Amino acid sequence: MFKKILIANRGEIACRVIKTARKMGIQTVAVYSVADKDALFVDMADEAVCIGPAASKESYLVADKIIAACKETGAEAVHPGYGFLSENAEFSRRLEEEGIKFIGPKHGSIARMGDKIESKKLAIEAGVNTIPGYNEAIDGPDAAVEIARKIGYPVMIKASAGGGGKGLRVAYNDAEAHEGFSSCVNEARNSFGDDRVFIEKYVLEPRHIEIQVLGDSHGNYVYLNERDCSIQRRHQKVIEEAPSPFVDAAMRKAMGEQAVALARAVNYESAGTVEFVVSGATKEFFFLEMNTRLQVEHPVTEMITGLDLVEQMIRVAYGEKLPITQKDVKINGWSMECRINAEDPFRGFLPSTGRLVKFQPPAEIPGQVRVDTGVYEGGEISMYYDSMIAKLIVHGATREQAISRMRDALNGFVIRGISSNIPFQAALMQHPRFQSGIFDTSFIAKEYPNGFDASMVPHDDPALLISVAAFVHRRYIDRAARISGQMPGHERLVSDEWVVIRNNERYPVVATPIKGGYRVDYNGEQYNVLSDWRLGQSLFNGTCNGEPFTLQVERHRMTYQLFHWGTRADMMVMSAHAAELLALMPEKQAPDLSRFLLSPMPGLLREVAVSEGQEVKAGEKLAVIEAMKMENILKAEQDCKVKKIVATAGASLSVDEVIIEFE
């Protein structure tokens, strides 16, 4: 077996590979950019080599630097993870020439299947079902519009070298095809160094189903069942599960056999994924692409099969045979994965960067709860790389049990200092359509057309939130009453009678101390809330009338924010007299910022598309901001005239920084 391998990646996946290598007795080498010098994966590896500045194109995407690090450290093989150079055929070929093993498929397989245009032609030759489309690189936006018209809207514009939702747009008309082509080209060039784009028909009511395959150098192939990745936002996967609630045994066999036929056609050696789009109405499936690498969502397959896919990749690269045949592949229970991203679901899922003031993932339980991450409390989330900071994976005997475990785990996942999508993930787990298993890739767009507002998510047990708010407030008041040196009469602050206020609704409660907590009388019912929660803690573990629960609580001046099951409850607790006075207070009006275009996120200002004095129509492009490897186009909300350009292209912007001032 290899003595030492180098991981040509960063973050969560680098940590993931290091764990398996350590289990196999293999030493590891990390390569890192200047921005990642204090990263967790650098600390975990046996050796680490700095390969350049923060920008990926000057560090993680430079093959020469990675090969030099291999020679410097004596690494015999390279695991590329996913993203960066993982599907770069030239990188794989260079390693082969240098006598360094690439822990992945041969460069010929990558070249043929990593190219989305060529892979579709190969799929047709192999007898795999494919989607109608134009399978040649497109010259420009006008040509894209013409081709889209011939195919018929809606169409999907895709980067040939794309992946991870980058370089992909859906267009429903000429204007969207023209603009989508340009954005795809720019994202593809920046992310993959390849700006070729093609177009295919967009399947309505689609489900995204993928088949995990394994092949070795001895001609053995297996498919490891399917993963359902249909819960997506802007073509980025949000929740993945295995198996799929939509796929039956016959479909699984048909898709699996086609996936293996495609892998066999290119002599595929390693772990790979064949992605299909499936019609929810007819159950017809069509080949999308083959990812010649490890997938982000590979843990759900590991949980239901008992295989370590990273270990299998390493063993295949060393020349070993697969340890199983198709008849050995089983489905054990149900697994789900939530991608925990550094983004603000309350601000349109815009990227969120900064210091992780608190990072407390739920406790890992073998076979039930797993957390894959590359960050730690006190670390920094950078604007230079993608937004994923952790993967939360659960396993249950049934889909219902997996959902229940994921709900509990999300409730106990504490992140502070930056925003995360945890409240949104928890809300999805609560959604009846998700729980039913009847959904497609448009689920999020349809169910949350105006964005996500956790304060509007209904809660199954609002009395629990009211009782916990009363508990927390009483604990603060009781502590305050014990502080020495107070003015006479302070003891009158301690009362059992309070009013909980949420969304201008008032809920009178009586909170009485009992052993281990408080008894809360509300609406004629008694709620005995017991907990050892202490002031300042974000995580609240306790029982209510004997039923255990976990939620998160934060205090902001007079407001308590409670997070539970995807609901955010902003609550104030005060005396009845104070509540009466509060009702008389005038509402504070927010300042009018409509004359300014503000940066909605931290990022790099790639383009200012207007000039001073220009008349702009509603819907026209104003500026383009790049953050976490994604391009974001800012458009005019109404007709206006540009008065002043405040920020210029190339500027690094912070949230709410002024870009343009209007007349």
pLDDT tens digits, 588-645: 888 888 899 999 888 889 999 999 999 999 999 999 998 876 788 999 999 999 999 9
Determine the CATH number of domain 462-583: 3.30.700.30
Each domain of the chain, given as residue ranges in start order, spans 4-103, 132-201, 206-454, 462-583, 596-662
The answer as to CATH 2.40.50.100 being correct for domain 596-662 is yes
The model's pTM is 0.84
pLDDT value of position 421: 95
Between the two ends of the chain, the Cα-to-Cα distance in Å is 69
What 3-state DSSP class applies to 17? Answer: helix
DSSP, res 81: -
* 72 is a catalytic site residue: no
pLDDT value of position 658: 95
pLDDT value of position 490: 58
Helix axes 107-114, 89-97, angle to 10 degrees: 170
Task: Transcribe 318-384 into DSSP letters.
Answer: HTPPPS--GGG----SEEEEEEEESEEGGGTTEE--EE-SEEEPPPPBTTTEEEEES--TT-EE-TT
**Candidates 187, 240, 275, 289; catalytic one:** 289
- What distance in Å separates the CA atoms of residue 294 and residue 309, rounded to the nearest whole number? 8
Lowest mean pLDDT among 242-246, 469-473, 581-585: 581-585
Paired tokens of 134 = 């134009």
Whether the predicted pLDDT of 423 surpasses 90: yes
The answer as to CATH 3.40.50.300 being correct for domain 132-201 is no
pLDDT tens sequence across 39-75:
999 999 999 999 999 999 999 999 999 999 999 999 9
Whether the predicted pLDDT of 487 surpasses 70: no
What 3-state DSSP class applies to 164? Answer: coil
Neighbours of 2 (CB within 10 A): 19
Using the Cα atoms of residue 96, residue 107, residue 86 and residue 241 in order, give the sign of their dihedral.
negative
Q: Where are the beta strands (DSSP E) in 609-650?
A: 615-616, 621-627, 630-635, 640-645
Whether the predicted pLDDT of 648 surpasses 70: yes
User: For the domain 206-454, what is the CATH superfamily, name and number?
Assistant: ATP-grasp fold, B domain (3.30.470.20)
Dihedral of the alpha carbons of 72, 13, 114, 64, in degrees to the nearest 10: -20
The answer as to CATH 3.40.50.20 being correct for domain 4-103 is yes
Give the up-direction half-sphere exposure of residue 420: CA atoms within 13 A in the CB hemisphere. 30
- Phi first, then psi: give them for residue 211, nearest 5 degrees: -110, 125
Paired tokens of 201 = 């028909």
Percent of the chain with pLDDT over 70: 98
- Non-local CB neighbours of 600 within 8 Å, separated by 6+ positions: 347, 348, 350, 625, 632, 634, 655, 656
Within this chain, domains 206-454 and 462-583 share the same CATH topology? no
Chain-centroid distance of CA 96 in Å reads: 33
Whether the predicted pLDDT of 549 surpasses 70: yes
- What distance in Å separates the CA atoms of residue 556 and residue 571, rounded to the nearest whole number? 10
Cβ distance 370 to 16 under 8 Å?
A: no
Amino acid making up residue 190:
N
pLDDT tens sequence across 152-176:
898 989 888 776 677 889 999 999 9
Q: Return the closest-CA partner of residue 305 out of 419, 398, 212.
A: 212
